[in-house]
Structure 1
Amino acid sequence: MSRLSGLAILLVLLFTSVLSFYQLHQQTRQDFSQQLATMNQVLAKASQLLLLDDGKQDINTLFSSAQHYAAFPVLSITLLDADKLVLSSTGLSPLLQQPESDWFAASYQVHWLDDRILSSQPVQLAQQVGGFLLLEVAHPPFPWQLWLWQMLIWLGLPCLLLIWLWQRASHRRSALEQESKAIEQVLMHWLANEPELPLPENHALSGLLKQWKHQHQQQQAQQHQQQQALTDQLTELKAAHQATLEQLHQSEQAQQRQEQAEKQCEHQRIQLLRQLVQTPTHCQPTLLQDLLLVRQESGSEQSIELPSWVGLQASSWRALLPSHQCLQLEEDSKASEYQLTLAAEALALGCRALLRLTATYGGQSQLSMQWQLDPVDGQLVLHLLLKGQSLPASLCQQLQQAPQQPETDPISDVQLFGRCCQQLQAEVEVSCLDELGSAIQLTIPVKVSCAHPWMPLPTLQLLALPGILPEAQVQSIKSACHQLLQESRLSHFAAGQSASCPSVLALPEPEHPDAALFRSLLAGLHGIALAKAEHCAAWQAQSATKVLPLPQSATELTQALEQLGSQSMGKRHLLVVDDNETNQAFVQAMLASFPLHLTSATTGQQALNLCRQQRFDVILMDIQLPDLSGIEVTRQLRQLPAFQQIPILAFTAHALPDEVAAFKAAGMDDVVIKPLDASKLASLMRWCQPPPVAGA
């Protein structure tokens, strides 16, 4: 820091000397300019007076005296007339011989040249310029002595001050070195924990060092305490680690015991299943299948439309019953307006278990399955009614208590029913009246959301002789269509039958007098036939038309007729999903001449609802839909068993390579670019061709 201060002081002194030199030089020049101007004025005034008196000889004398007695060196004095001719001169300046230079002006001026100074003063005669006075002088000498004395004063005093400061700093440094050596010695004693400090009591560092020593001792005591605490914690951690190891060992042993118990349970389960397989019962295979299904994820929730779901389950439910028993399904008209979320697989298994029990113990009773939906409270109520012979009281008590029993592996229909009720969180009520029948009610909590309403068929023809169809079956047929054309005379029915309007034919017993006429009607029937369960096999053997057992619900009839319509006359059923009505109308116009049944959907959810109700052969899927994207709808459709192999075509206005890859990844088979024109019909119709007939 002292070096920088000295360097700064030297720079300041150097700047001061240069500034002093410049100021002295300017002062000297200013003084000389004033003297020169005064001399010019005096000589010009004197020359003016002498010229008026015509004393040219006196002018020469004046100039010589002025040059001799001037206070500064004068090289020459020249007087010229108005024409710039020399009148008098003490020595002609060589500058006047330079014609290119003009040294004269109408006012006083000074020219500072490299080696001399030239001044020009006009001389006034009779109110006009009568001549010019030129003075040529040498540069004034610089007052070096004065400047040197100033520098001596300006530089000498600071130098003396610096020397004094340096000596003072040297003495201070020596004192600090001695003080630091003393402190170093004291610190060495202090670090060595010597009891006495080599410092007097009144020394400034004595109290501070004692305080430091006291703090150091306190810190050592705290560190010792912390070390002891850490040692205790380490001991506790070791004990806890040992306890954890023991617990882990015990847990491993418990797990091994549990695995052994599970293996024993699995072995017992296998033995029970073997016993079940070996038990001779008429419903043994279906119970075995359901026992295997209930062990899977039967409790997972699914979204269903109740009428369509019941219609799909109805055939498997009726197959569990003996031929002399019939199952009547009574639907809730409001259920078609909602979509339900519940454990549908568990509900199907529970219904199968109940039907097997009623087939075993119900005897000659009539079965009726009623469904009621309460969308406000979110409850689905199932009523299974047996009219006639009731179930045994012990069985009714077992069914009532089945949901409250501990969850174990089911080995019977009662335990299977209880397991399904637990998965459904259903409440069970069972009532039995001897020789009058039994009633089983299941109240199931469900999640309800709005769905696309079920659309009945436009028109349906019905041929039924009086007394063949019960009134409940006629009401189901009416619910399946908007308009029912009912006929009870065979001749009129055969004449009015139309291929554009599907028909329902109610068959009597095979020994009926008009059985031959019914067989002829079956040969050209565009529709389905209904018969009592005990007569279905006999009629099916005599006809290629599908014969369904009575009674049939409206949903079952609709599903059967729609499936028939999609296969009739080689026509394929095409679903067009597009929210643009113009595109829908254009597609229908383009495909009007082709053998296709067209169905339209404007939203993704509507398309999903339609696909859950019926089956389509080809789906033309728009990508940009108002609710769900076409890609998402395709993903959900591919999860349905009936639509895993159905061709789904992307219907879009543009398809980049990465977009086509996304369509294929979602499960789409091809891409049709909008708008549909003649060049793209061939690609679409290739997918609409019916599959080849086996053996053709």
Structure 2
Amino acid sequence: MSRVLGIGMLSVLLFTTFLTFYQVHHQVRQDFQQQLAMMNQLLVKATTLLLLDDAEQDINAFYSTAQHHAGFPVLSITLLDANQEVLSSTGLSTLLQQPEQAWFAEQHQILWLHHGRILSSQPLLLDQQVRGYLLLEAGSPHFPWRLWLWQLLIWLCLPCLLLLWLLLRSNRQKLQLEQSQRELEQAMICWLEDEADLTLSQQHPMAGLLHQITHRMAQNEQRYAQQQQELTSQSEVMEQSRAALLHEQQQAKQALQQLAQQQAQAEQGTTQLLRQLVQTPPPWQSALLQDLLLIRQESNADQMIYLPDWIAQQATLWRQLLQTEQELQLEEDSHATEYQLQLSADRLAISCRALLRLAARYSHHSQLSMQWQLAVAEQTLNCRLLVKGESLPADVCQQLELTTGLSATVVVSDIDLFRLGCQQLSAAVTVSCLDELGSSVELRIPCRYEAVAPAYQLAKVHLLAEAQLLHASQLQSFKLTCHQLLHYQNLSEWHRSQPPASEPLILVLPEPEHPEAGDYQRLLARPGCQGLAKATYLDAWQSFASSPVLPLPQSAAELSAVLKQRKLASPALIQLLVVDDNETNQAFIQAMLTSFPVQLTAAVTGQQALSLCQQQAFDLILMDIQLPDISGVEVTRQLRQLENYQQVPILAFTAHALPDEVASFKQAGMDDVLIKPLDAHKLANLMNWCRPPLPGSG
């Protein structure tokens, strides 16, 4: 191995020696050629200038100076003419004795000759023609032995240093391998003996493998620990499940105990209910029991009701709950006929009956008034029971306001019925009690409204009723029922008017001992007269009447049912004039009024409307503003000048109206503005304008 390495090293040394000698020799020749060429070009340029200046005598001196100061050995400088005759020379060269074609050419050339001589030939060109030749003979440059020796030394030192570095590296690797083997042996011994500390360094080739084995063992230990933890968790879950099962068993026991308590409470509630029924007087006993059964069976679903009809249906039941000396007055809102309500009517009926039974039991000699009012903007129905006289007990008033936390299974009394019904209606209850002055119970029930067309009204009816016999709410019910109601407050006013005998008469009868009882008896015998009286006076007046005397109704729906049952009146035809040049609007209004007792007459111009009003009487006029001939405002001014149309309602019928326009319409004599198109709510407002003012109403 060492012999091969020695031969290799010798071969490298020889090759390096020849390579450096060749490189230095080649570089010296290239540098000398460049210097010779530069000097030759300089001499040619200087010679050309001297020849042009006719200074041929100075050429020889210039050549001698150049030869003396050249940086390399110059043997001779010779200038020849175009015929190769010598013009100037620093020393005659022996080369001229040889054939001349070997030294002259049309371009610069350098010839390396024997015996260490070099010849540079350069033609002189004037006007692109050869005028002569310049020959420069020099000796060969000296070889730079010192430079070559230094390069050779450098090239020889590098392999030696490389060999030395390889030798040292081999020894170091051998030592590292021996140390690594010792460390591996020690680490394996430690690992086999289960020692935690491994002394193997990180640079060791086996360190990665050993660490991987150690890491896997740690992962296995971690996995085993995790499995152990999961087993522990499962054990804990099983323990918790066992505890939960025990807890459920305890809850089941508690549920059984609660069920037993509920059964006991149910038995107690049944006992209380039986006791309550036993304590309740017979007039209210069956009604209470019926409501208690209904509150447990019926659903709490909302229903659409028409308030006047609903009040009329409930009024009969309500009066049956009162004492003989008690009287219930019903007061309805004037807007009640314009809307349908959506609420739980069954719960409301149960609450009202329970409240009336309480008032009948605790306020024997009080006057009861039930008021109904619609708050359209707030979407609430307000019901108020006024007990005038003997007040409800204070403890009852306090319990009535508690409308939360009740269940149908614990209801045993009227107070419970009322509270549960209000709770299911989401009603707000306000109770005020004043000793010896009376009580007030108000319910504010949220509900939704839906506008409807006004109910079917009766025709013209005469009403004879003294002021003390007719409550204001009852008079309002009459107004809502009849299309045209003429009210006479005493017999004198009746005799002064002398209405036709063919028109129906409603007679509200006073007590039989009234001073003018004879006149009332004669009117009762009149055909078409319907007598109404309090329940206590019915038998006393019945013998003088040609038809049955009926109890005095309280609500509009009750009165309407009575009058329709007796056939006192037939539907009246309202004469309506619609002034509009749009035939589509005319047809739409006619379709909307199909179910109402309305006779519609149409006019398409203002002059036609004036002509129709002069020929017949109308109860209501719808006046369009923009007409083909004259404006509706001007037609209204002319109509107000007629004697028969100074009180007839005239409504502006337009698509839009600004506040200042509305003011101008009313200034011209119009009563109100109706915006197109016509809908159910506007139709109700239109029908209200068909009711003329009552005599004596102010």
- Decide which structure has the larger Cα Rg and report it: 2
Give TM-score scaled by structure 2 length.
Answer: 0.45
- Give the TM-score normalised by the residue count of structure 1: 0.45
